[in-house]
Amino acid sequence: MKIAVIGASGLARELKGLIEDICDSRVMAKEPEQWQCVGLLSDKRDEHSPATLGDFSWLENNHVDALAMGIGSPFARLRLASELSERFPNLQWPSFVHPSVRYHKSCRFFPGSIVYPGNILSVNVNVQSFALISSSCVIGHEATIGGGAVINPLCAISGGVSIGMGSLIGTRSSILRDVVIGQYCVIGPSSLVIEDVPAETTVMGIPALRKGSYMPIDGALPRFASRRRTALALRRDRSD
Q: What is the CATH number of the domain that holds 71?
A: 3.40.50.20
Q: What is the pLDDT of residue 133?
A: 98
Report the pLDDT value the prediction gives residue 52, as an integer from 0 to 100.
Answer: 86
Is residue 63, in this structure, part of any structural domain at all?
Answer: yes
So what's the pLDDT on residue 33?
A: 64
In the chain (240 residues long), the average pLDDT of successive 10-residue segments reads 92 94 79 82 68 90 96 93 94 95 97 97 98 98 97 98 97 98 96 96 95 61 39 44
Sheet of 132-133, strand order: 96-97, 114-115, 132-133, 150-151, 168-169, 186-187, 201-204, 209-213
Cβ atoms < 10 Å from Cβ of 188 = 18
Print the domain residue range for 34.
Answer: 2-87
What lies within 8 Å, CB to CB, of 35 at 6+ separation is 1, 2, 3, 19, 22, 23, 66, 94
Do 67 and 91 touch, CB atoms closer than 8 A? Answer: yes
Q: What pLDDT score does 230 carry?
A: 36
Q: Considering 34, 57, 87, which residue would you say is the last residue of a domain?
A: 87
Cβ atoms within 10 A of the Cβ of 64, count? 20
Query: Are 189 and 118 part of one and the same domain?
Result: yes
Confirm whether 184 is domain-assigned: yes
Both 70 and 114 in one domain: the answer is no
Burial of residue 219 (CB within 10 Å: 0-12, 13-18, 19+) is exposed
Backbone angles phi, psi at 19, to 5 degrees: -60, -40
Asked if residue 122 and residue 46 are part of one domain, the reply reads no
pLDDT at position 216 = 58
H-run or E-run covering 192: strand 192-193
Give the β-pairing of 201-204 and 209-213: antiparallel
Count of domains observed in the chain: 2
Q: Peptide bond preceding 207: is omega within 30 degrees of 0, i.e. cis?
A: yes
Look at residues 68, 87, 106 and tell me which one is the last residue of a structural domain: 87
Q: Which helix (H) or strand (E) holds 202?
A: strand 201-204
- pLDDT the model gives residue 232: 42
Model's pTM, two decimal places? 0.87
Which runs of E-coded beta strand occur in 15-173? 36-41, 66-69, 96-97, 102-103, 108-109, 114-115, 120-121, 126-127, 132-133, 138-139, 144-145, 150-151, 156-157, 162-163, 168-169
